[in-house]
Structure 1
Amino acid sequence: MSERLAVKKTYKLYIGGKFPRSESGRSYQVTDSKGRFLANAAWASRKDARDAVAAARKAFPGWSEATAHNRGQVLYRVAEMMEGRRAQFVDEVGSSEGLGRSRAEKVVDEAIDRWVWYAGWSDKIAQVVGSSNPVAGPYFDFSVPEPTGVVAVLAPQRSSLLGLVSVLAPVLVGGNTAVVTSSYERPLPAIALGEVLATSDVPGGVANILTGRVGDTAPTLASHMDVNAIDLAGVAGDDEHAVQLELAATENLKRVVRAPAKEPDWTAEPGLGRITSFLETKTVWHPVGI
């Protein structure tokens, strides 16, 4: 008998809870750290980015109006499913980032734990950053956090899973919806996460994942008038590109999380900064006794 041929995988995008092909019809080869073929990934176009924004905007009302407790349950379910597919994530992180088995397992465990950590903040963040304000008069005065809207997230290029979770989860936990551009050279963990999102309780369109070069879709996301904020983590160290995206974001006064000088240590304590970056504060006055 002849030797069995391996089935080469060609992955698609994740937009609106579905897996469409790229509008461009293009794909590219994904290789491991030693240059060996792993799979084909879709090469997202500007049209795909616009479609992802439309899907995120459509999903925003339902996700933002869900109770914080419900959002936390939904996001915790994602962590449960990541745990169930732990072996797949370990294989893909290891091959993508050139890590040994034990180190890849540690990275995956940290990513799952990070997702659980953020899910736990869903019904607590309002108590931490909101307040009941003292006023001189027969009124109650409350300041409460609300989601910003649709957030474009440029995922880290080196940390294909832990970095991705560290920038996506804080966007979702606050009630925002997201359009994510994955690592170009290491997209497989992001694709696997998309498969988890599609089969969990996360409504379609809440998180959308684009693969391909950041430079092909990021300008569209930065200048898109229906994107309310952008995280530039994926262009760390590329000052020229970061400045161009910041300038594009000024067209509708987007909130911008600026690109760091170099990719940070994603194993460090995350803090609440990435959650609060995509929250707005609403202050409400209410007469006493009414």
Structure 2
Amino acid sequence: MSDRVTVAKTYKLYLGGAFPRSESGRTYPVTDARGKFLANAAQASRKDLREAVGAARKGFGKWSGATAYNRGQVLYRVAEVLEGRREQFAAEVAASEGVPQKRAQSLVDTAIDRWVWYAGWTDKIATVLGAANPVAGPYFSFSVPEPTGVVGVLAPQRSSLLGLVSVLAPALAAGCAAVVVTSQNRPLPAITLSEVLATSDVPAGVVNLLTGHTAELAPWLATHADVNALDLTGAPPELRTDLERAAAGTVKRVLRTPAEEPDWTARPDIARLRAVLETKTVWHPMGA
């Protein structure tokens, strides 16, 4: 009796709430930290990225138009589903990052806690970052934070789950939609996160996850006119200046980060929320 041939898993993209193949049909092998083959991942193309941006733009209206309380409840639901699959995430983080199982479990727990932390901010953003401005005249002046729109995220390359959550969750908490280019060599936790998002209450198109070559996809994301902000966290250091220059052509907000990834286990702050928010000032006459 011959040995059974293992059927390799080929993962797809996550676009508009669905899981399509790359339009190019390309895939690439994903290995663990020791070089052992794990699965095949879809290699996204420029057309896939355009489809992702279009889906994000459609999803943005519904997401940004929801109440802050509702967005918080949806993000809490994502955390609940993450908690239910923590063992799977721990196994994938351990394989992808080459860390012991106990360390991987700690990283997953921190990622879940990080998601809950940002979920709790949804209905506090206006209070903390908004203002009633003192003016000399018969009117009121208010400053109100609003989501900037579609955010392009180049996910951290080394921190496959915690780093990804740390850059994605604040964009969603602020009311933005996101197009994420996952870690090129460690995409499996991001793929599993897309399954979590698809089975939670996040509206279709609010999050779109592309696997593939970061250096190939990043320039197209930087120049796309319908992307309003760009997070360079996972950008190759040699491309950062060119990406900033390209993003300036469509007047994008650009979130700069150090070439070396930060310590994602450190206490989070609201800097990433501020980076994807714009302040609208409203003047209102008294007595009207």
Query: CA offsets per residue over residues 205-239 of structure 1, 9 Å max, x none?
Result: 00000001101111011000000000000026x1x
Query: CA offsets per residue over residues 128-147 of structure 1, 9 Å max, x none?
Result: 11001111222121101001
Provide structure 1 residue ranges, at least 5 long, that are not aligned to the other structure: none
Q: How do 1:69-148 residues align onto structure 2 when only pairs under 5 Å count?
A: 69-148=69-148
Query: CA offsets per residue over residues 174-206 of structure 1, 9 Å max, x none?
Result: 010000000011000000000000110000100
The question of whether the paired residues in 2 share the 8 Å contact of 1:242 and 1:259 is answered with no
Match 2:241 to one of 225, 243, 251: 243
Hey, what's the Cα distance between the residues in 2 that align with 1:90 and 1:234? 22
Equivalent residue for 1:170? Answer: 170
**How far has the Cα of 1:269 moved from its partner?**
1.3
Query: CA offsets per residue over residues 12-71 of structure 1, 9 Å max, x none?
Result: 000000001001100011011111111100001111111100000011111111100100
Query: CA offsets per residue over residues 64-116 of structure 1, 9 Å max, x none?
Result: 11100100000110000000111110110010001111000000000000000
The one-letter code sitting in structure 1 at the alignment partner of 2:279 is T
SS in 2 for 1:135: coil
**How far has the Cα of 1:288 moved from its partner?**
1.6
Equivalent residue for 1:51? Answer: 51
Q: How do 1:1-290 residues align onto structure 2 when only pairs under 5 Å count?
A: 2-235=2-235, 238=237, 240-290=238-288
The farther-off stretch of 1-10 and 184-193 is: 1-10
**How far has the Cα of 1:261 moved from its partner?**
2.5
The question of whether the paired residues in 1 share the 8 Å contact of 2:75 and 2:116 is answered with yes
Query: Over the residues paired in the alignment, what is the CA RMSD in angstroms?
Result: 1.0
The question of whether the paired residues in 2 share the 8 Å contact of 1:235 and 1:259 is answered with no
Hey, what's the Cα distance between the residues in 2 that align with 1:47 and 1:204? 19
The one-letter code sitting in structure 2 at the alignment partner of 1:86 is R
The farther-off stretch of 109-118 and 137-146 is: 137-146
**How far has the Cα of 1:2 moved from its partner?**
4.9
Hey, what's the Cα distance between the residues in 1 that align with 2:257 and 2:268? 16
**How far has the Cα of 1:125 moved from its partner?**
1.2
Hey, what's the Cα distance between the residues in 2 that align with 1:84 and 1:65? 29
The question of whether the paired residues in 2 share the 8 Å contact of 1:232 and 1:258 is answered with yes
The question of whether the paired residues in 1 share the 8 Å contact of 2:218 and 2:235 is answered with no
Hey, what's the Cα distance between the residues in 2 that align with 1:128 and 1:282? 14
Hey, what's the Cα distance between the residues in 2 that align with 1:86 and 1:140? 49
TM-score by length of 1: 0.97
The question of whether the paired residues in 2 share the 8 Å contact of 1:49 and 1:217 is answered with yes
Hey, what's the Cα distance between the residues in 2 that align with 1:242 and 1:259? 10
The one-letter code sitting in structure 2 at the alignment partner of 1:209 is L
Query: How many residues matched?
Result: 288
Query: Alignment identity in percent?
Result: 68
The one-letter code sitting in structure 2 at the alignment partner of 1:272 is I
Query: CA offsets per residue over residues 151-175 of structure 1, 9 Å max, x none?
Result: 0000000000000000000111101
TM-score by length of 2: 0.98
The question of whether the paired residues in 2 share the 8 Å contact of 1:44 and 1:216 is answered with no
SS in 1 for 2:6: coil
